[in-house]
Structure 1
Amino acid sequence: MQLTVHLFEDLALQTALQPLTQHRKIADLWAGTSTLESKWPTRVSNANQADIQVLSAVLPLASTLALLDQLPEDSSYVNQGRILAQRGQGKYYIEIQLPFLQHPEDLLAHQAEFLRAEIKGNNPAPGNNTFICSENIYIHPSAQVQGSILDASNGPIYIGEEVNIQIGTLIQGPAAFLTGATTNIGAKIRPNTTIGPGCKVGGEINQCIFFPFSNKAHEGYLGNSIVGSFSNLGALTTGSNLRNDIQPVSIYDYSLKGLRKTGMKSVGQIIGDYVTTGVGTHLNTGTVIGSHCNLSSIGFPPRFIPSFSFGEYPALKSFDFEKAFASACAWMQLKNQEIPENLRQSMDEIWKADTSFRN
């Protein structure tokens, strides 16, 4: 029997997962082929109608669902004082290690597991393409794939509805291209990558998650990175994902208001929503960019760029709010998306929260 689940948010984790959660709740973060919320079998909005209440940051992996099914009545799974799941009154605490998001880069750590579990091949005919292990490849009937090489020998590949894979594209699985995504000519897509709905990508991309409606359409490298929605990385924008001394990467943490050691050797960029970069922008290892930034640089800009930053480094300044709002609306209209009624209010909240960082 499938669980009926009610997801609840955690404000502390909401802060810790910024800038990815500046414009969305945790349940709306993307990994694998969908948002976290959509991966749960049966969801309800009313906690009283649910079999179990689950922290939205808990990752809905097969192992997680099995453990939740075993949670006794009136008990809670907890981790260091944080409630992860609760059945009934939840008054009996059980300490457990359920996988849940604590930092933005945790999404990347579980990419391969989500992609392998969610993609089922349909063994498409190659046509004028080269398919390796085609039994692990799924191509929607409405997708277009021309003159490309898809290698699913090390993981499955998903080509979704209305996706356009242009000539010369190279894809190594596991990888997913979601509704309406497009590659540019000669794109190189390496494993553990999700290209979200409506995105256009090119150059070389390795172990990245692109949230819906963002672009990195031209040459340049991006690895071990997450890009929020409605962002556009200009031609030859390139990000480093490995320190020269091969030491673990530290990144800016909104909860700590300072650097945090990730313990990971490969961490690229964590980029918020509505971020644009100019031609030839170089981004250092472990760079965090807040939402609504418009920036370019000759050298490497700082490894933390607060929301509403504008200009060419080192002469960054605050992005005029009205111009930032107009830019956000323009990008949404370009992607044929309706402008949310609360966009201005949401932007105002981010502006106020990040004011001290810009100053």
Structure 2
Amino acid sequence: MQLSVYLFEDQASKAALQPLTQHRQVAELWVGTSTLESKWPTLVSSPEMADIQVMSSVLPLPSTFEILSQLPADSSYVYQGQILAQRGKGASPLEKHLPFLNHPEELLNFQSVFLRAEIKGNNPAPGNNTFICSEEIYIHPSASVKGSILDASLGPIYIGEGVNIQIGTLIQGPAALLKDATTNIGAKIRPNTTIGPGCKVGGEINHCIFFPFSNKAHDGYLGNTIVGSFSNLGALTNGSNLRNDIQPVSLYDYTLKAQRNTGLKSIGQIIGDFVTTGVSTSFNTGTVIGSHCNVSSIGFPPRYIPSFSFGEYPSLRAFDFEKAYAAACAWINLKNQQIPENLRQSMEEIWKADTSFRN
């Protein structure tokens, strides 16, 4: 029996997952082939309609579903004082750990799990391509794949509706290119990568998640990186994902307002929405970039760039709000999407929240 689930937003969790949650709810974060909320079997729009209420940062894994189904009536699962799920009034708390997101980089940790679970091959005919382990490859009938090599020997590959794979593209699974995504000539897509709907990518991309409608169309390397929506990384933009001394990487933490040791050796960049970079911009290992930034640099910019930063490092300054709003609308229009009615309000909230950091 499937449970009807209501996802509730925890504001502390939403704050900790910035900058990826500056323009979206936690449930709208992407991992694998879709958003978190789309992975729940039966979602309802109000708690009154739900069998169970679940915090939106809880990961919808098969093990999670099994644990939730065992929650008694009028009880809740609590972990370190945080309510993760409750049934009815939740009056009886039970200490239980469910997998949930504490930090944005943790999305990358679950890429392989979700990609392998969600992709089912349809054994397409290779045509003028080379397919390795074609039984693990899915290609939508409307997709175009020309003169490319797809290697699913280490994990499945998903090529979605309307995707355009241009000649010379190399893809190693597990990987997913979602609706209307495009690769440029000679793109290299390495394992555990999701290219979101409407994205255009090129160069070398390894273990990354691209949220919808972003571009990295030209040469340059990104690894262990998450890119928000409507961002555009200029030609030869590069990001380091490994320290020279092979020590664990630290990331700026919006809750701590300081660097946090991730304990991970491979972390590239966490990039918000509406971020553009100039030609040949390079980012250091573990760089966090807020939303609505327009950045270029000869050397490495700081490892934390607040939202609404503008210019060529070291001469970064505040991005004029009206120009930033116009730029955001232009990118939305370029991708043939509707401008959200609350875009200006959402931008104003981000502007106010990051003002002290820009100063």
TM-score range, shorter chain: over 0.9
Residue correspondence of structure 1 range 16-35 to structure 2 within 5 A? 16-35=16-35
Q: Deviations over 1:60-90 (max 9, x none)?
A: 0111111111111111111100011111111
Aligned to 2:5: 5
Does residue 223 of structure 1 match 2:223?
A: yes
Aligned to 2:112: 112
For 1:316 and 1:227, the matched residues in 2 are separated by 21
Q: Which amino acid aligns with 1:345?
A: Q
Q: Deviations over 1:265-296 (max 9, x none)?
A: 00000000000000000000000000000010
For 1:96 and 1:268, the matched residues in 2 are separated by 32
For 2:63 and 2:187, the matched residues in 1 are separated by 35
Which range is displaced more, 267-276 or 92-101?
A: 92-101
Residue correspondence of structure 1 range 72-91 to structure 2 within 5 A? 72-91=72-91
Aligned to 2:189: 189
Residue correspondence of structure 1 range 119-130 to structure 2 within 5 A? 119-130=119-130
Q: Which amino acid aligns with 2:310?
A: F
TM superposition shift of 1:91: 1.4
For 2:118 and 2:99, the matched residues in 1 are separated by 18
Aligned to 1:208: 208
Q: Which amino acid aligns with 1:307?
A: S
For 2:178 and 2:96, the matched residues in 1 are separated by 34
Secondary structure of the corresponding residue to residue 356 of structure 2: helix
TM superposition shift of 1:41: 0.3
Aligned to 2:300: 300
Does residue 334 of structure 1 match 2:334?
A: yes
For 2:245 and 2:27, the matched residues in 1 are separated by 36
Aligned to 1:262: 262
Q: Which amino acid aligns with 1:164?
A: N
Residue correspondence of structure 1 range 84-99 to structure 2 within 5 A? 84-99=84-99
For 1:66 and 1:166, the matched residues in 2 are separated by 42
Aligned to 2:239: 239
For 2:179 and 2:314, the matched residues in 1 are separated by 38
TM superposition shift of 1:119: 0.4
Aligned to 2:349: 349
Which structure 2 residue ranges, 5 or more long, are not aligned?
none
Q: Which of structure 1's runs of 4+ aligned residues deviate more than 2 A?
A: none
Secondary structure of the corresponding residue to residue 64 of structure 1: helix
For 1:73 and 1:177, the matched residues in 2 are separated by 41
Q: Which amino acid aligns with 1:78?
A: V
Aligned to 2:276: 276
For 2:188 and 2:62, the matched residues in 1 are separated by 31
For 2:95 and 2:165, the matched residues in 1 are separated by 46
Q: Deviations over 1:203-222 (max 9, x none)?
A: 00000000000000000000
Secondary structure of the corresponding residue to residue 262 of structure 1: strand
Q: Which amino acid aligns with 1:182?
A: T
Q: Which amino acid aligns with 1:273?
A: D
Structure-1-length-normalised TM-score: 1.00
Secondary structure of the corresponding residue to residue 48 of structure 1: helix
Q: Deviations over 1:233-283 (max 9, x none)?
A: 000000000000000000000000000010100000000000000000000
Secondary structure of the corresponding residue to residue 263 of structure 1: strand
Q: Which amino acid aligns with 1:126?
A: P
Secondary structure of the corresponding residue to residue 7 of structure 1: strand
Secondary structure of the corresponding residue to residue 264 of structure 2: coil
Q: Which amino acid aligns with 2:262?
A: T
- Percent identity over the alignment is 80
Residue correspondence of structure 1 range 39-188 to structure 2 within 5 A? 39-188=39-188
For 1:111 and 1:51, the matched residues in 2 are separated by 28
Q: Which amino acid aligns with 2:169?
A: T
TM superposition shift of 1:147: 0.4
TM superposition shift of 1:327: 0.3
Q: Which amino acid aligns with 2:179?
A: T
Q: Which amino acid aligns with 2:126?
A: P
Secondary structure of the corresponding residue to residue 194 of structure 2: strand
Superposition CA RMSD, Å: 0.5
Q: Which amino acid aligns with 2:102?
A: Q
